[in-house]
Amino acid sequence: RWLVEEFQRNLPAELDFENEARNAERIHANFLRSTHPAARRFATPAINWPLTSGRVITMEFVDGVKANDAA
């Protein structure tokens, strides 16, 4: 029961892609402000706002590896 309540509370926000796009931009801004040298090695895709809605998020393609790829 608690899991269903958790999904009911959080799933709408997770499926709101405009909200996710704002979060992505916030993460990008945090990396730019960071003084940690490793922060400069991260790339965050730009949001294409004219093609983004609550149901679709459109981002630039950034070639690279996942942050957790230790190799």
Predicted pLDDT at 24: 93
Q: In terms of C-beta distances under 8 Å and separation of at least 24 residues, what long-range contacts does 45-54 make, across chains too?
A: 47/21, 49/21, 52/17, 52/18, 52/21, 53/17, 53/18, 54/16, 54/17, 54/18
pLDDT tens per residue across span 38-54: 887 888 899 999 999 99
Predicted pLDDT at 59: 97
What is this structure's pTM?
0.75
d(CA 21, CA 41): 21
| pLDDT(65) > 90 | no
Query: In this predicted model, which residue has the larger pLDDT, 56 or 7?
Result: 56
